[in-house]
């Protein structure tokens, strides 16, 4: 969840470290700090609160050729400067930054205190610095290697020592760490975004690997000190990808980018002549795909809801039994690997801890697992048997928007492939593709209603509770809409199946509990209208998102947002856009920190 950046080079280290941390703000944090090596040893500067507090405390020019920085999200110990990273040992010669959780830190801490070590924080991370002090033999890499077997839990860490100037050593297990290569400079970071403006190439580290960098080179070894050769990849992102480009918030920019991100997800993957799709990264031939009898999609949060929609696509279009599972649940349940079942794990970052644990458990039991993620080189991308990059582009706002629609784009294409291998005719496939290809331009039409959605937000943002209701393929879109509202506005919102309304939730209906219905023009439309009338009969206020020209809906509800007509199965693409905008505008009107909502992080790398 936290952010790490490290630098070896000759440029202004203040600019490098603070700029890198600025790019990592989207991951969520409550304090930050840097440590730099100077002629007088290691200088540590830490501050609580927003990064601006640290920026104000750090000299604009620092004479140093190596240093580390960190944005912390409190897990062990309160939010304070003492608990902020970097942490040092007793001598002050060693400094550490760390993402993850050291599960056995208390036992280690007790032993170290008994040996005379003096601790200054309540964190789990500080034990790493003191362990390094004990293990120190003049070789930083060897010392790091010596202590790693003592650590139980997860880590992405960087260590520096005053007696080894110009060198940083990193290691990872369960928490991402990458290396960036520039011209006569080297970087370590938890995320490529931190170094995108400086590094031309990146190397992705795997669990169990240890890396040493200086401004002129690097070496990677394993736990037994064997050299490891890693592929060097081009930097995927451009510097402009991390700018707001005139939008007041990254979230609004990313909502409006969905016309482009969905188009990128389709590019080269729809074959109109054969009326099918193409996903080369699946690493499965047509015979293997035909042999699939069931699909299980695993994800967390927004990715889980995308998986629910993907499962609906597969059942409705291809007639394949499919379901979505919560990653945090499947990771620890007694998993029954069903014959001829294909598993997907879905994660924007490709580093989500719950989803990674589920992936490894599935593979341990012999399942074929494919990945759907946005981050090239991420752990999920490397550990799955195949998969698909959604090509959404960097998503900086904590609340996911364009990654969600890019994920369901991928599942729509996969469902088309599976349907054409089974029961879908070429005429039906061609019609589906044409309707699908129209989605980006139809989303543009929905985005043109932004001012009307802002007016709705002004009318309703003062209500403390909402119910979002949907049926069929739009049920998970209702769940996702409720999640967006509570994530960034802090308004309590529930996603409910409209068909379940009378099985309990209807007791909540009142004038103070607005209901937001998703009502596409499908076979369940009349059922939805009946549910709306039940709410209206109990004095509930109703907002409906419906198909353009549906006068019956417009005359029944209090407020309406209309979207263009599309194939009913594709309606979540259009229905979700007003929900994203509604949540965004409510949050802005209530003065919330839209891009970095409280208590949340973009990449959840600890359970």
Over the stretch 114-147, which tens digit does the pLDDT of each residue have? 999 999 999 999 999 999 999 999 999 999 999 9
Separation in Å, CA 194 to CA 21, 105, 188, 330? 7, 28, 9, 32
pLDDT value for 239:
60
* Residue linked to tokens 């002050």: 92
Catalytic residue among 2, 8, 373, 586: 2
Catalytic residue among 93, 109, 541, 602: 602
pLDDT value for 603:
66
Separation in Å, CA 139 to CA 94, 208, 398, 605? 12, 19, 39, 30
pLDDT value for 606:
61
Separation of alpha carbons 338 and 353, rounded Å: 24
Residue-wise DSSP of 203-262: EE--TT-EEEEETTEEEEE-TT--B-----EE----GGGGS-TT-SSHHHHHHHTHHHHH
Secondary structure (3-state) at 23: helix
pTM of the model: 0.82
- Strand partners for 561: 545
**Is 229 annotated as catalytic?**
no
Geometric angle at alpha carbon 393, from 434 and 202, rounded to 5°: 135
Separation of alpha carbons 166 and 164, rounded Å: 7
**What's the distance, Cα to Cα, between the start and end of the chain in Å?**
10
Separation of alpha carbons 381 and 176, rounded Å: 12
Among candidates 57, 61, 38, 37, which has minimal Cα distance to 46? 57
Separation of alpha carbons 431 and 598, rounded Å: 44
559-563 β-sheet, strand order: 492-497, 465-470, 515-519, 542-547, 559-563
Separation of alpha carbons 106 and 88, rounded Å: 17
* Sequence-separated (6 or more) residues with CB below 8 Å from residue 214: 8, 66, 166, 167, 168, 186
**Is 2 annotated as catalytic?**
yes
Give one word for 245, left, alpha or beta, with left for phi > 0 and alpha for psi -120 to 50. Answer: left
Q: Which residues in the chain come in under a pLDDT of 70? A: 1, 26-27, 237-241, 601-603, 605-607
Tokens of 25: 């703000």
Separation in Å, CA 339 to CA 84, 335, 359, 411, 423? 49, 13, 17, 21, 22
Give one word for 346, left, alpha or beta, with left for phi > 0 and alpha for psi -120 to 50. Answer: beta
Using only C-alpha atoms, the chain has a radius of gyration, in whole angstroms, of 25
Phi, psi torsion values for 473, nearest 5 degrees: -65, -20
* Sequence-separated (6 or more) residues with CB below 8 Å from residue 351: 175, 176, 375, 378, 379, 380, 603, 605
Q: Where are the alpha helices (DSSP H) in 384-474?
A: 402-420, 426-437, 439-447, 450-460
Geometric angle at alpha carbon 538, from 537 and 543, rounded to 5°: 80
């Amino acid at each position: 969840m936290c952010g790490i950046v490290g630098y070896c080079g000759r440029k202004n280290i203040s600019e490098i470290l603070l700029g890198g941390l600025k790019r990592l703000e989207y991951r969520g944090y409550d304090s930050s700090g840097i440590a730099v090596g100077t002629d007088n040893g290691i200088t540590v500067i830490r501050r609580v609160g927003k990064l601006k507090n640290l920026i104000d405390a750090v000299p604009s020019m620092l004479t140093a050729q190596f240093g580390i920085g960190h944005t912390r999200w409190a897990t062990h110990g309160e939010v304070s400067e003492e608990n902020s990273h970097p942490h040092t040992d007793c001598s002050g010669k060693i400094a550490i930054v760390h993402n993850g959780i050291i599960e056995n830190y208390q036992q280690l801490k007790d032993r170290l205190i008994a040996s005379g070590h003096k601790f200054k924080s309540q964190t789990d991370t500080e034990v790493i610095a003191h362990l390094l002090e004990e293990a120190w033999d003049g070789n930083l890499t060897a010392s790091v290697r010596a202590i790693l077997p003592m650590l139980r839990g997860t880590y992405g860490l960087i260590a520096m020592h005053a007696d080894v100037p110009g060198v940083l050593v990193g290691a990872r297990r369960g928490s991402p760490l990458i290396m960036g290569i520039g011209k006569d400079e080297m970087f370590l970071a938890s995320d490529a975004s931190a170094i995108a403006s400086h590094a031309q190439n990146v190397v992705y580290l795997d669990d169990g690997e240890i890396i040493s960098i200086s401004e002129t080179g690097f070496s990677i070894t394993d736990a037994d000190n064997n050299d490891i050769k890693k592929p060097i990849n081009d930097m995927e992102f451009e510097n402009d990808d991390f700018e707001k480009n005139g939008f007041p918030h990254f979230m609004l920019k990313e909502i409006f980018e969905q016309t482009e991100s969905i188009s990128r997800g389709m590019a080269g993957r729809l074959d109109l002549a054969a009326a099918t799709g193409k996903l080369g990264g699946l690493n499965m031939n047509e015979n293997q795909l035909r042999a699939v009898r069931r699909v299980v999609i695993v994800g967390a949060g927004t990715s889980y809801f995308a998986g629910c929609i993907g499962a609906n696509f597969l059942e409705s279009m291809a007639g394949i039994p499919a379901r979505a599972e919560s990653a945090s649940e499947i990771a620890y349940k007694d998993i029954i690997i069903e014959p001829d079942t294909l598993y997907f794990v879905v994660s924007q970052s490709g580093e989500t801890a719950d989803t990674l644990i589920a992936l490894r458990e599935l593979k341990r039991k012999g399942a074929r697992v494919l990945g759907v993620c946005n981050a090239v080189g991420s752990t999920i991308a490397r550990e799955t048997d195949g998969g698909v990059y959604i090509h959404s582009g960097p998503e900086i706002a904590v609340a996911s928007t364009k990654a969600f629609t890019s994920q369901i784009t991928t599942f729509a294409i996969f469902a088309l492939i599976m349907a054409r291998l089974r029961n879908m005719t070429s005429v039906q496939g061609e019609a589906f593709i044409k309707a699908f290809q129209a989605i980006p331009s139809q989303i543009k039409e929905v985005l043109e209603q932004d001012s009307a959605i802002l007016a709705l937000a002004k009318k309703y943002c003062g209500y403390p509770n909402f119910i979002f209701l949907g049926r069929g393929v739009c049920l998970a879109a209702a769940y996702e809409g409720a999640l967006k509202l509570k994530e960034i506005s802090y308004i309590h919102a529930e996603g409910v199946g409209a068909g379940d309304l009378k099985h309990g939730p209807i007791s909540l209906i009142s004038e103070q509990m607005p209901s937001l219905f998703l009502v596409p023009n499908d076979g369940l439309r009349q059922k939805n209208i009946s549910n709306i009338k039940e709410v209206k009969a109990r004095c509930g206020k109703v907002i409906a998102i419906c198909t353009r020209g549906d006068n019956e809906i417009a005359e029944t509800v209090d407020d309406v947002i209309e979207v263009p007509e599309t194939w009913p199965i594709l309606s979540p693409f259009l229905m979700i856009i007003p929900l994203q905008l509604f949540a965004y505008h409510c949050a802005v009107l209530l003065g919330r920190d839209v891009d970095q909502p409280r208590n949340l992080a973009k990449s959840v790398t600890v359970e």
